[in-house]
């Protein structure tokens, strides 16, 4: 059987002397798809909803990446971002309709950091724009100018995981037997996070300050999980991170098998039409 095709969301970023726009995704996502996911990584350019229409039937899974940019507040009726906050309107225009269609079609979906925030917004939720400015909340960001990568991506805090949830079922045996109970250590590289949880999403993990750190799509037709941290940074040495990608890989392989056996592709319009009304914009 051919390797499953895993679409990786790209950002539009300026490179070079003239800040030329490029469609880009970090190498860590490519490597993890080639590694424990065992898929064929395909970078999805941030080219808008018209491209999403043609992409969906060609994909076996969708991996939503993290990014320094933040979802445009107009997509969730939020106040304008503070001056200097990076945005990526082209990415939003591509990922938000693609997410809704992927969820409705049962396409395996794993959403990481910005990707989890996109998942929440796409299905009708809202975001807190600067968690560190809210009373009683932690600073979840790591300085972007931290030059030493192992420090920048190191474990930053614990998250409490719902023992009866989907995420817990993916983790290796004995993950909750240590001194911290039903908690795992994660890195933390974000300023924004979920404010109002989207209808249809179920929270699965929480930071010590109550920030939602993992979600699943309730009643999803397939694997549909979001995590606020970055398991792609340490899957080679952290068993919990690796377990998430291996479980995603099993779901991806099953979806690819169905497609390669001739299951009819689902168009983005038909998929969105099947989604619950509250998940529409």
* Exposure class string for 29-66: b at 16+ Cβ within 10 A, else e: bbebbebbbbbebbebbbbeeebbeebbbebbbbbbbb
- The CA-to-CA distance between both ends of the chain, in Å, stands at 38
Q: Which of 118, 204, 213, 232 is labelled catalytic? A: 232
d(CA 152, CA 145) in angstroms, rounded, equals: 9
236 catalytic per annotation = no
Q: With residue 204 as reference, give the H or E element that holds it.
A: strand 201-206
d(CA 52, CA 10): 13
- Give the bridge partners for 216, in sequence order: 202, 225
10 part of the active site: no
Q: What is the DSSP letter of 191?
A: S
3-state secondary structure at position 8: strand
* Residue 232: active-site member: yes
Residue 178: count other Cβ atoms within 10 Å of its Cβ: 11
Distance CA 201, CA 185 (A): 23
Active-site hit among 113, 118, 190, 204:
113
By CB atoms closer than 10 A (0-12, 13-18, 19+), residue 180 is exposed
φ, ψ of residue 149 to 5 degrees: the values are -55, -45
User: In angstroms, what CA-CA distances link 224 with 36, 139, 270?
Assistant: 17, 27, 19
Catalytic residue among 10, 140, 213, 230: 230
Which residues are marked as active site? 113, 230, 232
């Amino acid at each position: 059987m051919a390797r499953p095709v895993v679409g990786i969301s790209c950002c539009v970023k300026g490179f070079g002397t003239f800040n030329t726009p490029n469609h880009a995704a970090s190498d860590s996502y490519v490597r993890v798809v080639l590694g424990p996911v065992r898929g064929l990584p395909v970078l999805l350019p941030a080219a808008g909803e018209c491209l999403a229409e043609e992409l969906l039937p060609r994909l076996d899974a969708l991996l939503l990446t993290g990014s320094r940019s933040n979802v445009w507040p107009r997509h969730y009726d939020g106040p304008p971002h503070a001056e200097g906050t990076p945005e990526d309107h082209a990415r939003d225009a591509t990922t938000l309709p693609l997410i809704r269609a992927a969820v409705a079609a049962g396409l395996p979906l794993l959403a990481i950091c910005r990707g989890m925030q996109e998942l929440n917004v796409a299905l009708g939720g809202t975001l807190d724009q600067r968690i560190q400015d809210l009373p009683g909340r932690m600073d979840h960001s790591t300085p972007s100018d931290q030059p030493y990568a192992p420090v920048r991506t190191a474990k930053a805090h614990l998250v409490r995981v719902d023992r009866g949830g989907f995420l817990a079922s993916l983790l290796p045996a004995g993950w909750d037997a240590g001194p911290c109970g039903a908690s795992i250590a994660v890195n933390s590289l974000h300023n924004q996070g979920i404010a109002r949880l989207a209808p249809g999403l179920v929270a699965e993990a929480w930071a010590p300050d109550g920030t939602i750190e993992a979600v699943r799509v309730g009643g999803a037709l397939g694997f549909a999980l979001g995590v606020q941290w970055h398991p792609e940074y340490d899957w080679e040495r952290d068993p919990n991170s690796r377990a998430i990608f291996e479980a995603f890989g099993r779901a991806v392989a099953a979806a690819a098998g169905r497609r390669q056996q001739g299951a009819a592709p689902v168009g983005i319009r038909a998929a969105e039409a099947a989604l619950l009304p509250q998940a529409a914009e």
